[in-house]
Amino acid sequence: MDIKTVGIVGAGQMGNGIAHVFALAGYDVLMNDVSREALDAAITLIEGNLDRQVSRGKISQSDRDAAMGRIKTTLTLTDLGQTDLVIEAATERESVKVAIFEDLVPHLKPETILTSNTSSISITRLASRTDRPEKFMGFHFMNPVPVMQLVELIRGIATDEATFKSCLAVVEKIGKTASTSEDFPAFIVNRILMPMINEAVYTLYEGVGSVASIDSAMKLGTNHPMGPLELADFIGLDTCLAIMNVLHDGLADTKYRPCPLLTKYVEAGWLGRKTDRGFYDYRGETPVPTR
Q: Known catalytic residue: 37?
A: no
Strand-pairing partners, residue 82, are none
15 and 151 housed in the same domain: yes
14 is in an annotated binding site: yes
Give me the pLDDT at residue 40, please. 97
Catalytic residue among 116, 140, 198, 230: 140
214 and 171 housed in the same domain: no
33 and 84 housed in the same domain: yes
Q: Which of residues 124, 155, 182 is at a domain's end?
A: 182
Q: Known catalytic residue: 267?
A: no
* 126 within 8 A of 98, measured Cβ to Cβ: yes
13 is in an annotated binding site: yes
Q: Known catalytic residue: 111?
A: no
Q: What is the pLDDT along the chain (291 residues), one digit of tens a residue?
A: 789 999 999 999 899 999 999 999 999 999 999 999 999 999 999 999 999 999 999 999 999 999 999 999 999 999 999 999 999 999 888 999 999 999 999 999 999 999 999 998 999 999 999 999 999 999 999 999 999 999 999 999 999 999 999 999 999 999 999 999 999 999 999 999 999 999 999 999 999 999 999 999 999 999 999 999 999 999 999 999 999 999 999 999 999 999 999 999 999 999 999 999 999 999 999 999 999
12 is in an annotated binding site: yes
Residues 6+ apart with CB under 8 A from 192: none
122 and 230 housed in the same domain: no
Q: Is the dihedral of CA 7, 28, 140, 222 positive or negative?
A: negative
- Rg over CA atoms, the chain: 19
98 and 224 housed in the same domain: no
Q: Which of residues 152, 182, 212 is at a domain's end?
A: 182
Catalytic residue among 119, 122, 181, 198: 119
Catalytic residue among 88, 116, 120, 152: 152
Range of the domain at 245: 190-289
The three-state secondary structure class of 154 is strand
28 is in an annotated binding site: no
Q: Rounded to whole angstroms, what are the CA distances from 102 to 159, 170, 270?
A: 19, 25, 32
- Can you give the pTM of this predicted structure? 0.90
> Rounded to an integer, what distance in angstroms lies between the CA atom of residue 212 and that of residue 227?
9
239 and 216 housed in the same domain: yes
**Among 59, 100, 95, which residue's Cα sits nearest to residue 78?**
100
55 is in an annotated binding site: no
118 and 215 housed in the same domain: no
Q: Rounded to whole angstroms, what are the CA distances from 208 to 179, 201, 233?
A: 35, 10, 20
41 and 166 housed in the same domain: yes
48 and 13 housed in the same domain: yes
Q: Known catalytic residue: 179?
A: no
- Name the strand (E) or helix (H) holding 53: helix 36-55
18 and 161 housed in the same domain: yes
Catalytic residue among 20, 190, 198, 230: 190
Count, residues in the chain: 291
